[in-house]
Amino acid sequence: MNKEKLCDKCSTCNQKSPLFQLLSDNELEVINDDRYAVRFLEGEVILKQGTRADNLVYVIEGFAKMYVEGFNDRNLLLDFVKPMQFVGAPAVHTGGKYNYTMVAVRETLACFLDAEKFSKALDLNREFSKHYMVKCSEEYARSLDRMVSLSQKQMHGRIADALIYLSEQVYETEVIGVDVSRQDIADFTGMSKDSAIRILKEFERDGIVNLEDKTIVIHDGPLLNSISMNG
């Protein structure tokens, strides 16, 4: 498969994150040393919650999701992962076990970076480690926002939050794609699948969204924002 050629070495990788562009070829070589890429099929587990966190996963192409396996067989969907994103924090820094499971939503090419080597690169280049720290801090800040949403808003507000996030941050268009199921939205907003469906249907009746064969098209963004704020 010619796609693996993209992954010959880090310095020539054509899916190089802005973060990696801060590293010199020599520094990249440190990370390149122990890295390897693996292609995952839809539904396959890339990282499993509870296993030792000795790799940072860099998504080269595809689409994945990460979720915490919680209580009563319920999952808390944390995020969808697009190419050029890093997955592994915070466990990779505390030296513990992965805090979540990561699964390929579509066929996904993932690069496994050795945590030790990555840490070495953080040592070598302070600009790199600084920017990486900013990325981690942004993730943390988002988790605080979600804690507020999950604990203080009721279902309409939480669904609105989810749709806004998926539209603005994940799909970067008004159309939320087919690979986000109703169950995903329920897992993202901490409610039952039934309730999530009900509210999406309600939003459709109110002209806020269009539901067309499993995609969700946002029709009235301002109203959605107002529901997010007041719910």
Site residues for DNA, 148-167, by CB under 7 A, read 154-156
- 69-108: contacts with a second copy (CB under 8 A): 70-72, 74, 76, 78, 89-91, 93-96, 99-100
Among positions 69-98, residues that touch DNA (CB under 7 A) are 72
- The Cα 39–Cα 104 span in angstroms is 10
- Measure Cα distances from 108 to 32, 42, 65, 80, 82 in Å: 20, 8, 11, 12, 9
Q: Does 2 bind a second copy (CB under 8 A)?
A: no
Tell me, residue by residue from 30 to 69, as one string, x for binding to DNA by CB under 7 A and - for no binding: ----------------------------------------
Of these partners, DNA, a second copy, none, which one is at the site of residue 200 (CB under 5 to 8 Å by kind)? DNA
Choose the contact partner of 130 out of DNA, a second copy, none; CB within 5 to 8 A by kind: a second copy
Size of the site for DNA (CB under 7 A): 19
Query: At closest approach, how far in Å is the CB of 105 from a second copy?
Result: 20
CB of 6 to DNA, least distance (A): 27
Binding flag, residue 140, a second copy (CB under 8 A): yes
Q: Which residues contact 169 (CB under 8 A, 6 or more apart)?
A: none
Overall residue count recorded for the chain in this entry: 231
Q: Which does 91 bind (CB under 5 to 8 A by kind): a second copy, DNA, none?
A: a second copy
207 binds, among DNA, a second copy, none (CB under 5 to 8 A by kind): none
- φ, ψ of residue 190 in degrees (nearest 5): 65, 45
Residue 90: is the preceding peptide bond cis (ω within 30°)? yes
Q: Is residue 211 at the binding interface for DNA, with CB under 7 A as the rule?
A: yes
Is there binding between residue 139 and a second copy (CB under 8 A)? yes
Binding site for DNA (CB under 7 A): 72, 154-156, 181-183, 190-195, 197-198, 200-201, 211, 214
